[in-house]
């Protein structure tokens, strides 16, 4: 299983390169990690997996601020001058006149887009670092329906329709009751998980449940493999920009920090710094 912070797995990269042996496994593993960090730097994001964040802004009298990470899974707290701002709610079809925040929709498919948090009936008053918004964000499948198998092994694999499973974000019964994660041998009301396969107790056989998990968007994994493959083949021509073949023809190599086809695919995932 790759590190949650690696954009691609060693097995997938070796398949892309048509490598059967394990002589280069260590090098390829380091290459995956290096390229993954480079991708995060290029798209100007600290993580793409679900985790908590805290953005601090200077208030300038505006009605909206753009959060730095996305897709936003939930707002933990919004504070202005250390005053807690509630979520803006609609009751009986009549909008409240009190100050509250709303957030742009996240979008259900990657890459999604940067999201604004806006105030209804209020503004982010002027100040230095006086606006604090804590929230969770990242690419996550939420409440995927599964049923505990009725016979051993009591295992269910995450569907992972948009990219490989990377991190567990919890399991619950349909009524919302949370199951407890354990390392192995779960009992009733418990589960264990490894590489996207969830294991339950016989006591939960036939029981409907919901699983949530972080995933690596397939497009980002492909970018990592394409870029890593380019760097791997570069080993045979380090420093070369062209090569003569018997004096009859010359092959010119494209030498760039990021391959053009990778760069263009990463653009929709990139955080744009706004003034």
- My answer on whether 129 and 157 are in the same domain is no
Asked if 132 contacts 152 with a C-beta cutoff of 8 angstroms, the reply is no
Q: Which of residues 257 and 74 earns the better pLDDT score?
A: 74
pTM: 0.88
Q: Tell me if 102 is assigned to some domain.
A: yes
Task: List the domain range (segments joined by +) for residue 164.
Answer: 140-217
Q: What is the total count of domains within the chain?
A: 2
Query: What does DSSP say about strands 197-200 and 190-194: parallel, antiparallel, or unpaired?
Result: antiparallel
Asked if 98 contacts 90 with a C-beta cutoff of 8 angstroms, the reply is no
pLDDT level of residue 233 (50, 70, 90 thresholds): confident
- My answer on whether 76 and 63 are in the same domain is yes
Predicted pLDDT at 255: 52
Residue 254 has which token pair?
């494209």
At which of 217, 237, 266 does a domain end? 217
Q: Tell me if 202 is assigned to some domain.
A: yes
Q: Tell me if 70 is assigned to some domain.
A: yes
pLDDT in tens, 40-64: 999 999 999 999 999 999 999 999 9
Residue 221 has which token pair?
């994994």
> What secondary structure, in 3-state letters, does 83-142 show?
EECCECCEECCEECCCCEEEECCCCCCCCCCCCEEEEECCCCCCCCCCEEEEEEECCEEE
pLDDT level of residue 7 (50, 70, 90 thresholds): very high
Predicted pLDDT at 227: 92
- My answer on whether 132 and 151 are in the same domain is no
Secondary structure E strands in the chain: 51-57, 64-66, 72-80, 83-84, 90-91, 94-95, 100-103, 116-120, 131-137, 140-147, 155-157, 163-173, 180-181, 190-194, 197-200, 208-217, 242-245, 249-252
At which of 91, 110, 137 does a domain end? 137
Which of 187, 86, 196, 194 is CA-nearest to residue 144? 196
3-class DSSP state of 26: helix
Q: Tell me if 156 is assigned to some domain.
A: yes
Q: Tell me if 22 is assigned to some domain.
A: no
- My answer on whether 108 and 62 are in the same domain is yes
Taking residues 172-178, report their average pLDDT: 97
Question: Residue 91: is its pLDDT beyond 90?
Answer: no
Predicted pLDDT at 237: 56
3-class DSSP state of 39: helix
pLDDT level of residue 258 (50, 70, 90 thresholds): confident
At which of 102, 118, 137 does a domain end? 137
pLDDT level of residue 101 (50, 70, 90 thresholds): very high
Predicted pLDDT at 158: 98
Predicted pLDDT at 156: 97
Predicted pLDDT at 257: 78
Q: Tell me if 255 is assigned to some domain.
A: no
105: buried, middle or exposed (CB in 10 Å: 19+, 13-18, 0-12)?
Answer: exposed
Residue 201 has which token pair?
């107790």
Asked if 47 contacts 79 with a C-beta cutoff of 8 angstroms, the reply is no
Q: Tell me if 15 is assigned to some domain.
A: no
pLDDT level of residue 242 (50, 70, 90 thresholds): very low
- My answer on whether 125 and 163 are in the same domain is no
48: buried, middle or exposed (CB in 10 Å: 19+, 13-18, 0-12)?
Answer: buried
Predicted pLDDT at 94: 58
Q: Cα(149)–Cα(143) distance, rounded to whole angstroms? A: 18
Q: Tell me if 191 is assigned to some domain.
A: yes
pLDDT in tens, 111-133: 999 999 999 999 999 999 999 99
- My answer on whether 170 and 132 are in the same domain is no
Share of the chain above pLDDT 70, in %: 88
- My answer on whether 118 and 170 are in the same domain is no
Which of 116, 119, 113, 109 is CA-nearest to residue 79? 119
């Amino acid at each position: 299983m790759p590190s949650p912070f690696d954009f691609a797995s060693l097995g997938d990269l070796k398949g892309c390169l048509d490598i059967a042996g394990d002589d280069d496994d260590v090098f390829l593993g380091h290459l995956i990690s290096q390229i993954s960090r480079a991708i995060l730097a290029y798209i100007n994001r600290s993580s793409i997996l679900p985790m908590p964040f805290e953005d601090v802004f200077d208030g300038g009298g505006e009605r909206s601020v753009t959060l730095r990470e996305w897709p936003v899974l939930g707002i933990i707290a919004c504070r202005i001058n250390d005053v807690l701002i509630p979520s803006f709610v609609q009751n009986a079809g009549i909008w409240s006149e009190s100050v509250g925040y709303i957030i742009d929709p996240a979008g259900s498919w990657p890459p999604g887009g940067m999201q604004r948090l806006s105030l209804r009936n209020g503004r982010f008053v002027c100040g230095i670092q006086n606006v604090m918004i804590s929230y969770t964000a990242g690419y996550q499948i939420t409440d995927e329906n599964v049923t505990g198998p009725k016979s051993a092994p009591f295992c269910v694999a995450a569907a992972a329709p948009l990219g490989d499973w990377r991190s567990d974000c919890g399991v619950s019964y349909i009524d919302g009751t949370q199951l407890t994660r354990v390392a192995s041998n779960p009992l009733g009301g418990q589960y264990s998980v490894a590489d996207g396969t969830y294991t339950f107790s016989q006591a939960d056989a036939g029981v409907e449940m919901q699983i949530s998990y972080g995933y690596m968007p397939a497009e980002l994994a492909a970018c990592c493999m394409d870029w890593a493959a380019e760097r791997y083949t570069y080993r045979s021509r380090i420093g070369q920009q062209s090569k003569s073949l018997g004096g009859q023809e010359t092959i010119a190599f494209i030498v760039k920090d990021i391959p053009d086809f990778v760069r263009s695919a990463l653009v929709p995932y990139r955080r744009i710094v706004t003034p």
